[in-house]
Amino acid sequence: MLSIALGVRQAKLDAEMRAFFQDARPWAFILFREACVSRVQVQALCNELREAAGHDAIVWIDQEGGRVARLKAPEWPTWPAAAKYGEAFARDNVTGIEATYLGHRLIAHELKSIGVDGDYAPVLDVPVEGSDKIVGDRAFSAEPKLVATLARAALEGLHDGGVAGCIKHMPGHGRATADSHLALPRVSVSEAELINDIYPFTRLADAEAAMTAHIIYEAWDPDRPATCSPKVIDEIIRATIGFEGLLMSDDLDMHALQFAMNGGLQQRAETALKAGCDVVLQCSGKLADMQEAAKGCANLTGPSMVRARAVESFAKRPAREFDADAGWARFNLLMNSQTS
């Protein structure tokens, strides 16, 4: 299996895409909005992707809730942004934790029912005043301890639904003053200040998967974004944070990496993997881009394969028994509660 997860932006595979997947055997796939038309269609697409890859690949999606949701109404329910769970916690701590767990348990129930078994959530970033709005209400709170508490509840909700989670964006996107989709952010604060940012990640260092940030942290490596920095990955993510799970890059297509290096997708993939990422993400949905990025990847082996198998153990296990109708009724009650 190739050390790459490939974005899919079509409702059904064409012959060329199918042939490429059969040859490349990517470790995983990622569904985007264009690939999600109906429940029946998504389930058929997931089956088609796994058949083409020749193995029971994880199919991931970005379904955080709020503005980051690939599954949209009216075909699918609408889930709140993470900040709404923080507001629920502020009204009542116990209610807020239960609502966070249940909201993500309901997401997992919906995903599992259509063949999707990985969610790029929860977000552990801690936004600060003056930072770019790309994180904003995707964060549970501006308080690191609360972010960690609610992220743990979210991850447990996904797990109980038989869905793997992925904490992001390690080691923290909350201070970035630019959107890494469009620019290469630089964070210039001291190492002591960055301790605040990594705190939630240290609390969830046992998570099965994490996604890197395309950000330069000058206190750690003034020349390379975290995704491409052996120093940040080895010394901060693996050692200081203590993360031992599968480390995935953010999307190789994002402008941050284009500004960080002169080469194309092949070089970006090679650089990220050499720096210590286990798997890279390529999300354009374009066959030529997939083919170029794949040239920079090798088959999963050694510790990376062990970590990938551990993620699969979360994604492929059956969901616990769950009454979704009762779950929605309870969830709506919790989120609408004004208990102080």
DSSP state of 37: S
Could you confirm whether 250 is annotated as catalytic?
yes
Q: Taken in order 114, 315, 322, 106, is the CA torsion positive or negative?
A: negative
221 is catalytic: no
CA distance 180 to 188: 16
In the three-class reduction of DSSP (H, G, I as helix; E, B as strand; rest coil), residue 131 is classed as: coil
Residue among 64, 59, 43, 49 nearest 121 (CA): 64
- What dihedral do alpha carbons 82, 176, 269, 191 form, nearest 10°? -110
Distant-in-sequence, close-in-space partners of 259: CB < 8 Å, separation ≥ 6: 183, 184
Q: Which is the catalytic residue, given 117, 119, 132, 250?
A: 250
As given in the structure block, the two tokens for residue 200 are 């939630």
C-alpha span between 89 and 340 (Å, rounded): 10
Closest CA to 25 of 305, 337, 294: 294
Handedness of CA 318, 321, 323, 328 (dihedral sign): negative
Cβ-Cβ contacts under 8 Å for 288 (sequence gap 6 or more): none
**List 55, 56, 181, 206, catalytic entry:** 181
Best CA proximity match to 251, nearest among 202, 284, 206, 297:
284
Active centre residues (catalytic):
181, 250
